[in-house]
Amino acid sequence: MAAAPDEARRTDKLLELSRRLAETGDLPSILSLVIDALRDLLDADRATVFEYDAKTDELFTQVAHGIGGAGDAPKVIRIPRAAGIAGAAATSRQIVNIPDAYEDARFNRAVDQRTGYRTRTILAIPLLDHDGQLVGVAQVLNRREGAFDAADERLASGLAANAAVAMKRGRLIEDRIERERLEREMDVAKDIQAGTFPGEIPQAPGWDIAGESQPAEFCGGDAYDVIPLVDGSIATAGAEPEEYILTIADATGHGVASALSSVQMRGMLRLGLRLRQPIVKIAEEVNAQLSEDLPDGRFVTAWIARLDCRTGAVHTVSAGQGPILTYRRATDDFLVHGADVPPLGVFALPYADEDSQRFALEPGDILVAITDGFYEAPDANRDRFEEERVKEIVRANRDRSSREILDAIKSAVHAFSGHAPLEDDQTGLVIRRETRSR
C-alpha cells in the first residue's frame, strides 16, 4: 500500500495548485486540475467536482475519474442539490466525511452496481466563493489507507477555497465567451436578414415608394420586399419598372426563429415570380409549404400586391395581414382592406381569385401597408396607437413624399410610446401615386 504524502509534500503541491489555478481561466482545465489535485493530495482513488446550477437548483458534473471509457464523449450527470452525500455537503455547507459508504443511508449504491466499482470512503467538500455562495461540491472516493481524517479535511478545505474562486472565475469567462459568440452569430444573422431587404428601390415614373423594417431584437420576424418587374419577369438592375410586387410579412414572435420564417416566405415569393406565377397561386403554394414546415402555433401573416405602374391597377392577397390603408385624394377618405385568407402556415387550403382584392390607385392616392408593431405600440397606460392615428398622419402628410410619410408614422409611434424600446418589430411600405409624372 502506498504511504500517505507527508505534510511538506502536500503543502508544496497545494501551493503549486494555487499558482496553476490563478494562471488559467479555462473552466475544463480548472476542473481537471481540481479533480487531479483532490485525488493525489488526499491519496484517494477517484474524485469528482459537481458544479452548482442555481437556475435549476441542481448539482451537475461532466468531469470525473472512472466515468465513461476512453474516447467517450463527456456525459453530464445532474442530481437535485439536496440529493446524496454531495447534496448533504451542498445543503449544510460543511464537509461530509463518510468512513463507510454502505452504512450511510444517503449513499446511492446504484452507480456501484452499474459499474462494478466499490465505494468505501467518501469526503464531500462544499465549494464556496468569497461571498459564501455555493459554487459546487467536490467529492473524493476511497482513501487508499483507512478513512479520511482531520488532516485530510483541513487540506481539502484549503484546496476548496482556491478551487471555488477559480471555478467561478472560469465560469464567468466561459459565459462571457459564449455571450460574445452568440452576439457575433446574431450580428451575422442580422446582416443576412438585412441583406434580403431591398436596398435602393427603383422608382418608376409617377410613383414614389418607401419601405423600412426595424426589429425589436437583433433579428426581426418582419420582412418586406419591393420587386420591380419588366415583361412579367423580375427586372434587371437599372431597368425601369413596368410593375411592382410589394409585400410585407410578420412571423409570430420576433428574433431568429421568426426571422427564418419571414425570410423563407420572401424566398419562396421570389421563386414563384421567377416561375411567372400569379400572386394568388404563389400565396397558396407558400402557405402549403409553411404548413408543412412550421411547428404548431407558428405562422406568418403576409400581404402581397401586384401594382401596374401604367394603369395604377392593384391586385392584392392578404393572409391575415391588415389593416392595409388606401388614402383616396379625390374624396379625402380611406379604404380599409382586411384579410382575405388565414395566416400562412396554419393549414393548407386552395386559394381562388375570389380570395383576393382589386382596386386602383389614382393620382394623389397613398397606399400604407404596415405591420402591427405600429398599430399595437403601447403608451404608458398600455393604450394602443391604433388605426385612426395612422390615418390622421397620412392625411396630414398627403403632399409629402412616401419616405416623409413613413418617417412621420414612425416618429409619432415612438413619441406615443415614450421612446421606449420596441416591443414588436415595425415594418412598413408606403406607396404614393404622384399627381404628375416626373
Same domain, 315 and 376: yes
Question: Could you tell me if residue 70 is inside a domain?
Answer: no
Question: Could you tell me if residue 183 is inside a domain?
Answer: no
Q: Residue 244 has which C-alpha cell? A: 411592382
CA pair distance 136, 125, nearest whole angstrom: 9
Question: Could you tell me if residue 185 is inside a domain?
Answer: no
Per-residue pLDDT of the chain (438 residues; tens, 9 = 90+): 444 446 656 656 666 666 666 656 566 777 777 777 777 777 788 888 888 888 888 888 765 555 544 444 456 778 788 888 888 888 888 888 988 888 888 887 777 777 777 888 888 888 887 778 888 888 888 888 888 888 888 877 777 777 777 777 777 776 777 777 766 766 666 666 666 667 788 889 999 999 998 887 766 678 889 999 999 999 988 899 999 999 998 888 666 667 777 778 888 998 999 999 999 999 999 999 999 988 888 898 999 999 999 999 999 999 999 899 999 999 999 999 999 999 999 999 999 999 999 999 999 999 999 999 999 999 999 999 999 999 999 999 999 999 999 999 999 999 999 999 888 889 999 999 998 644
Question: Could you tell me if residue 184 is inside a domain?
Answer: no
Contacts of 351 (CB under 8 A, 6+ apart): 280, 281, 283, 284, 287, 317, 341
Q: Which residue has the cell 442555481?
A: 54
Q: What is the pLDDT of residues 19-72, one digit of tens each?
A: 666 656 566 777 777 777 777 777 788 888 888 888 888 888 765 555 544 444
Q: Final residue of a domain: which of 175, 207, 227?
A: 175
Same domain, 120 and 263: no
Question: Could you tell me if residue 438 is inside a domain?
Answer: no
Question: Could you tell me if residue 29 is inside a domain?
Answer: yes
Same domain, 423 and 381: yes
Q: State the CATH number of the domain containing residue 423.
A: 3.60.40.10
Same domain, 19 and 164: yes
Same domain, 151 and 213: no
Same domain, 200 and 171: no
Contacts of 362 (CB under 8 A, 6+ apart): 312, 328, 329, 330, 433
Q: What is the pLDDT of residues 274-295, one digit of tens each?
A: 999 999 999 999 999 999 988 8
Q: Final residue of a domain: which of 146, 175, 204?
A: 175
Question: Could you tell me if residue 53 is inside a domain?
Answer: yes
Q: How far is CA 281 from CA 25, 118, 314, in A?
A: 58, 70, 16
Same domain, 166 and 243: no
Domain containing residue 170: 7-65+75-175
Same domain, 168 and 301: no
Question: Could you tell me if residue 182 is inside a domain?
Answer: no
Same domain, 310 and 229: yes
pLDDT for res 116: 78
Q: State the CATH number of the domain containing residue 95.
A: 3.30.450.40
pLDDT for res 63: 53
Same domain, 146 and 244: no
Task: Indicate the burial class of 191 (C-beta count within 10 angstroms; 0-12, 13-18, 19 or more).
Answer: exposed
In the chain, the number of structural domains is 2
Contacts of 431 (CB under 8 A, 6+ apart): 207, 208, 209, 244, 246, 307, 361, 366, 367, 369, 402
DSSP string across 200-234:
SPPPPTTEEEEEEEE-SSSS-SEEEEEEEEETTEE
Q: Final residue of a domain: which of 175, 198, 217?
A: 175
Same domain, 105 and 146: yes
Q: In what order do the strands lie in the sheet with 134-143?
A: 77-80, 58-61, 44-53, 134-143, 122-128, 96-98
Same domain, 153 and 197: no
